[in-house]
Structure 1
């Protein structure tokens, strides 16, 4: 009697659970889509009450496909279990039965002959598929029926999808969703033509798998859209939109493209897949793409074995020169500015960086390629399959060869470093390119920040030799000053301009302040004009407090009067500056001299900086370091790296140094790079010799 009561109680307890299992709990599809061993899968975390049947319906795949993708899986799934759901048909070799076979249950009085007529197959094929049918046909038995050759299913490769599917939640909008996954709204609408702005609960939409590496996404203005309306749609602050678009007018124009900042938002992370060790790296890579960059980069600490390619021209009979002018570099397809063995010097500096990092744990293999100024030679390097395995590629140095390598890097998603070019177009349209040398338009931003921080009350002047020369760069600085220079005191103008061959110093004398600093920005490289300007301003130094700011080329001009330079508190913009009063610079020069019996030239410093920076990034963040590079604070030798990417373009180094003449000595007065608590700089060159 008691046993019957227990049975009844158990039945009452279990009936609701059984009903739940029969109905199937609503399955929430995973948004994590990864490629594993060449096949694409969704990574699904099992919730309580979910069954294989319910999961298969949610993902529109068969139970057999799920079983075949997860070795040892049973219908008794465990809550929290991570399973792989194929995003495309399971390969033929993994299916339970070949696609060229069907099954037939034998009915009474059926014969082999009747089956061959019914299914249009030969008797030989029928017997071969069933081990010869030695006992003949038996009623009720199940036999295999091969398909005719003309009907045999041909496996078709499904092209790899460049999107993943997302199941919308209640009250979700497409705009915040675009920010969460770092893509533009236009790209989401392109994959979902019938989609509206407001999503329905459970609606499946396609999200492109191309998150931007920049700190913004683009938005094309529609009719009657304003900054405030966009801010409400994207659920961000309107001032954040205005700050990242300093050039936009109050009234937006239809068709205009503006930037929408990617704010630091809390993203619901997918669970760690601790039970499937082989998927852990894939999870980290996915999180790095969709999490707020600060959070994901803070968590990533990857030590592994890395492969680095270094492509330099070692074919000296075809190389007459490398660098005669410190600003020319290797942008001409047939350069005439090369010193013999300069690339060897770059290589030597790079080897010193490699040696320093190996002492602190770097495990890397460096592949060195001879890459002369030859398209054919570059093609041969690209055709080498080992290049596809690289974690970062540095070089080649010649423009045509670099363009070919950039296409290769974009195809295989490998970071590519250009160490020498100063052309702005190097990074355009390719998010995998890093341009080490800062470009001239970025001088305006650095100069404006410096003036705002160090000369907030000064009277500012911009001058050049005449109205026609150097007009592009001159206008860039004027525009940046107009938009970003801090207001001057007492309502005075932001800045004044004059052309020396027309105005002499009349404008300066009329507008200069006697009780405040006067800063003159001279945008010129004309030696005769520079010498005349120095002389003329020096004559006024007893009447006015004057600071003169010159361009990078001034450091290379011989014959400038040192007394004038010192009296006028001259500042220079510079890409790089070796400070022999700095211990790290002195130690590098000393070590280079000891190892190679020569003084380190400009290329040696560059080789060391490039090597130490990018190989340190590999050590810190792994091969997926690109989203974290803007948070990587790496203290270098004679120059700084401050990489930023815009839209679908690559990374530009925006770091210009500012050097000041004081007491007849040059001092680096550049603003320090932004620092983050989790990005402590690595200084392997300061470590004691082992």
Structure 2
């Protein structure tokens, strides 16, 4: 499963061989040659630009993910970036002075420098410049930050959205109307288009009065949302009123609940191996639903194939049945989260996001539950781990030639190294070029040695792990690694992993019997077990339904679950108007192996 939200790091610039600067009359940009293993997120961090900016220059990314050997246009970062257009709330105050204008923002638990910079649309570097103490330590709850505001900015609330652009349609989100633009193809009619998007022909004509004269191939139509901004009573609910609503889910317990699973089953691409773990997640979820011991409780289960695009999410939330859901589980990919989060907030539907740890919308959306702990929680856990469990340990940072962090990894290296530098804590830095020859000289013989690599790529570290295994009978040596490495075969020294999973590869006897009874398949052996994750998450949220019908309010600050087969949960609210983020993490230790 996935983790992230990287800490503040000065981006590493790629070598000249990887990029070329193009200067023109209208735009200036780099061209970047994508290499194997790179992700859109890692490239954004490298050049210190947003994913949206890269997509604007590379529209094909709205139709598919990046691939090795793609040539991307990367906008040149300007010194002066856009300034925030945030409304003044109880959490931030606008201060206007002769020399500068800024917000005063009080940090709440769960917020990160990254999420705050996204919220106000300013760079992390700019925030640090105005708050110099952040050069010495990371942000903490109750810190008061000065957030710059351009003098020509406005404090009027603005609504922005990631715009998934394809040759057929573009999503537009605004305060008055939210719609897709659809380019009409030869042979299409108003009726066929209305069926495709689950809207009425009258609604299409209302937004497109020119269609009264006929429909022309190549014309562009506005496709309205399917009533996503109206609650059951028909009253329009604005984003602001939802954010301050005192009751998170004011519903009485009932006998039938509707649950939607929005996962990338990839039915149109059966050869996509990434779908397997999401299918297993869904299988475990169905077992949890089947095991609910309440004869009066009924569930209607809906499953939707989200594939990997934003526009697919929009098509799904426009379906009439989605408007009546009691619980949504999904999506899988961070890029799809903003659209579903906005829908959940407008419709007041509790939504569990089981895979991504970069859910910035959870800061001001009380209907979101994020299972994967955010980067700050991960960093706090690892710092305490070093301080307590490894307090008399030599920490060794290993610098490879392939610094890489994908969306499903934890960047311990950057955060810990910065933390050690700020606190003036001693450590050893090894260059990968001389790794094998320098081990005997740099490893301590009188205490434990913990190595941390600057990459999440197992192929890069595999030979180094073999070298460490070879000398593990001479030195007390271990590696704090990525959880995904646990599934790879090969020689490894003592390994330590940090994750929101307990690390067990088998469920309870009852669970394993139920799995074989209904699926008759060989049990999944990949760790973490995604079927167990689906089982635990669904079991917990079903218990909330059957117990009190999701009736908790803003005074509820934490929600705990300690009966998980693979994972327990400790959900904490991010702030007054925020959702919940899981804080539970585990340290998993594997002995040295020679396989």
Normalised by the length of structure 1, the TM-score is 0.44
Q: Residues of 2 paired with 1:467 and 1:314: CA distance?
A: 29
The one-character-per-residue Cα deviations of 1:216-259 (angstroms, maximum 9, x if unpaired) are 999x9xxxxxxxxxxxxxxxxxxxxx99944999x986869xxx
Asked if 1:514 is matched to 2:458, the reply is no
Task: Give the structure with higher Rg (CA).
Answer: 1
Q: Give 2:328's aligned residue.
A: 393
Conserved? CA contact 1:516–1:545, under 8 Å: yes
Q: Give 1:607's aligned residue.
A: 534
Compared CA separation, residues 253 and 344, structure 1 to 2 (3 A): closer
Q: Give 1:459's aligned residue.
A: 394
SS of the residue corresponding to residue 186 of structure 1 reads strand
> Which of 252, 266, 284 is 1:349 aligned to?
284
Aligned ranges 1:282-361 → 2 under 5 Å: 304-305=254-255, 307-312=257-262, 317-321=267-271, 324=273, 337-339=274-276, 343-356=278-291, 358-359=292-293
Q: Residues of 2 paired with 1:520 and 1:314: CA distance?
A: 36
Aligned ranges 1:183-202 → 2 under 5 Å: 183-184=90-91, 186=93
> Which of 440, 446, 467 is 1:536 aligned to?
467
Aligned ranges 1:3-402 → 2 under 5 Å: 183-184=90-91, 186=93, 245-246=139-140, 304-305=254-255, 307-312=257-262, 317-321=267-271, 324=273, 337-339=274-276, 343-356=278-291, 358-359=292-293, 363-373=297-307, 378-379=313-314, 381-383=316-318, 387-397=322-332, 402=337
* 1:593 positional shift: 0.8
The one-character-per-residue Cα deviations of 1:591-641 (angstroms, maximum 9, x if unpaired) are 201122113434422321221122223344542447546341333222343
* 1:463 positional shift: 1.7
SS of the residue corresponding to residue 457 of structure 1 reads coil
Q: Residues of 1 paired with 2:305 and 2:315: CA distance?
A: 10
SS of the residue corresponding to residue 569 of structure 2 reads coil
Asked if 1:555 is matched to 2:474, the reply is no
Question: Alignment RMSD, CA only?
Answer: 5.1
> Which of 641, 663, 667 is 2:569 aligned to?
641
SS of the residue corresponding to residue 407 of structure 1 reads helix
Compared CA separation, residues 598 and 423, structure 1 to 2 (3 A): same
Conserved? CA contact 2:558–2:571, under 8 Å: yes
Compared CA separation, residues 464 and 639, structure 1 to 2 (3 A): farther
Of residues 409-418 and 537-546 in structure 1, the stretch that sits farther from structure 2 once superposed is 537-546
Compared CA separation, residues 623 and 520, structure 1 to 2 (3 A): same
Compared CA separation, residues 473 and 649, structure 1 to 2 (3 A): farther
Larger RCO (CA under 8 A, 6+ residues apart): 2
* 1:473 positional shift: 5.6
Q: Give 2:416's aligned residue.
A: 477
Conserved? CA contact 1:578–1:637, under 8 Å: no
Q: Residues of 1 paired with 2:540 and 2:301: CA distance?
A: 17
Q: Residues of 2 paired with 1:301 and 1:429: CA distance?
A: 21
Question: More helix per residue: 1 or 2?
Answer: 1
SS of the residue corresponding to residue 318 of structure 1 reads coil
Q: Residues of 1 paired with 2:296 and 2:110: CA distance?
A: 30
Compared CA separation, residues 434 and 301, structure 1 to 2 (3 A): closer
Q: Give 2:190's aligned residue.
A: none
Q: Give 1:448's aligned residue.
A: 383
Q: Residues of 1 paired with 2:310 and 2:386: CA distance?
A: 45
Q: Give 1:204's aligned residue.
A: none
Compared CA separation, residues 537 and 321, structure 1 to 2 (3 A): same
The one-character-per-residue Cα deviations of 1:358-400 (angstroms, maximum 9, x if unpaired) are 3157835334143444877755653456544433222344666
Q: Residues of 2 paired with 1:352 and 1:510: CA distance?
A: 54
Q: Give 2:84's aligned residue.
A: none
Q: Give 2:590's aligned residue.
A: 661
Conserved? CA contact 2:330–2:351, under 8 Å: yes
Conserved? CA contact 2:260–2:325, under 8 Å: no
Asked if 1:499 is matched to 2:416, the reply is no
Q: Residues of 1 paired with 2:584 and 2:320: CA distance?
A: 35
Compared CA separation, residues 424 and 311, structure 1 to 2 (3 A): closer
Q: Give 1:36's aligned residue.
A: none
Compared CA separation, residues 482 and 653, structure 1 to 2 (3 A): farther
Compared CA separation, residues 643 and 464, structure 1 to 2 (3 A): farther
Q: Give 2:69's aligned residue.
A: none
SS of the residue corresponding to residue 289 of structure 2 reads helix
Q: Residues of 1 paired with 2:573 and 2:516: CA distance?
A: 37
Conserved? CA contact 1:639–1:657, under 8 Å: no
> Which of 597, 615, 635 is 2:520 aligned to?
597
Of residues 647-656 and 407-416 in structure 1, the stretch that sits farther from structure 2 once superposed is 647-656
SS of the residue corresponding to residue 524 of structure 1 reads coil
Compared CA separation, residues 571 and 597, structure 1 to 2 (3 A): same
Aligned ranges 1:610-629 → 2 under 5 Å: 610-620=537-547, 622-625=549-552, 627=554, 628=556
Gaps of 5+ in 1: 1-181, 191-211, 221-241, 257-288, 325-336, 485-491, 667-690
Asked if 1:436 is matched to 2:359, the reply is no
Q: Residues of 2 paired with 1:253 and 1:402: CA distance?
A: 28
Q: Give 1:579's aligned residue.
A: 504
SS of the residue corresponding to residue 570 of structure 1 reads strand
SS of the residue corresponding to residue 534 of structure 1 reads helix
Conserved? CA contact 2:108–2:142, under 8 Å: no
* 1:312 positional shift: 3.8
